Amino acid sequence: MTACQLYLISPPDVGGDFPDRLEAALDGGPVAAFQLRVKDKASHELAALAQPLLDLCRARDVAFIVNDDIAMAKRLKADGVHLGQTDGDPREARAELGADAQIGVTCHNSRHLAMEAGEKGADYVAFGAFFESATKEASHRAEPEVLRWWSAIMEIPCVAIGGITAQNAAPLIEAGADFLAVSGAVWGHPDGPGAAVTEFGKLLHTR
């Protein structure tokens, strides 16, 4: 069994001092991926905000994933795209971004959606929300059993998302999550994002 890894999700605002906060987070311990999840920005503005974040990730060998926007992922030459159920087809993303792109799909708590995503060529599936989240209102609630089921029958990695903290993550790791997608628990940590990533690192290292 491979170790569970950390997958950071950006806060809605990545301007101002956020590049410094991301740098602190990446310096706090191992991070596998960073997802740019920003809504309601013009393409040119988002691209400008994204560039210093992309540079930080590239320098540390962290995969840079764009949420929902295949065109923006292509424009930035990002490592991949994460698609919600209404944000496009993995096959379309593959055609646009190429064979090496990492394509993830939100599957909520649905085994059917996950199987469908796998059949369409997704590189990972995301289940959740597992807990109440201050970052995003969740209309679907998932249980750890869906991670256990998926990891037992499929080789495609699974991501757990939704209200995850270092205090509640252990059952998800035990159930077979390959990645923990975390936002608020890192950016809102009282001791800063670096301390939060260090905290998660200790937890993940024990798997």
Summarised one tens digit per residue, pLDDT across range 109-137 is 999 999 999 999 999 999 999 998 776 66
Long-range contacts of 47-54 (CB under 8 A, 24+ apart): 47/72, 47/75, 47/76, 49/14, 49/15, 50/14, 50/76, 51/76, 52/19, 53/10, 53/14, 53/18, 53/19, 53/22, 54/78
pLDDT at 1 over 70: no
* DSSP SS3 for 200: helix
Cα–Cα dist 186/199, whole Å: 10
Q: How far apart are CA 180 and CA 199, in angstroms?
A: 13
Residue type, 141: R
* CATH number of the domain bearing residue 103: 3.20.20.70
Specify the pLDDT at position 139: 74
**Burial class of residue 18, CB neighbours in 10 A (0-12, 13-18, 19+):** middle
How far is C-alpha 15 from the geometric centre of its chain's CA atoms?
19
Q: Give the pLDDT mean for 85-106.
A: 96
What average pLDDT does the chain have? 95
Q: Which residue range forms the structural domain that includes residue 145?
A: 5-205
- CB proximity list for 63: less than 8 A, separation 6 or greater: 32, 33, 34, 57, 79, 80, 102
Distance CA 76, CA 64 (A): 10
**How open is the CA angle 59-63-66, to the nearest 5 degrees?**
115
pLDDT at residue 2, as a whole number? 72
For residue range 40-73, what is the model confidence (pLDDT) as tens digits? 899 999 999 999 999 999 999 999 999 999 999 9
Output the six-digit token pair for 62.
Answer: 């962290």
Q: Using CB atoms within 10 A of its CB, is residue 132 exposed (0-12), middle (13-18) or buried (19+)?
A: exposed
Q: Residue 207: is its pLDDT beyond 60?
A: no
Partners of 83 in the β-ladder:
105
Partners of residue 33 on adjacent β-strands: 7, 63
How many domains are contained in the chain?
A: 1
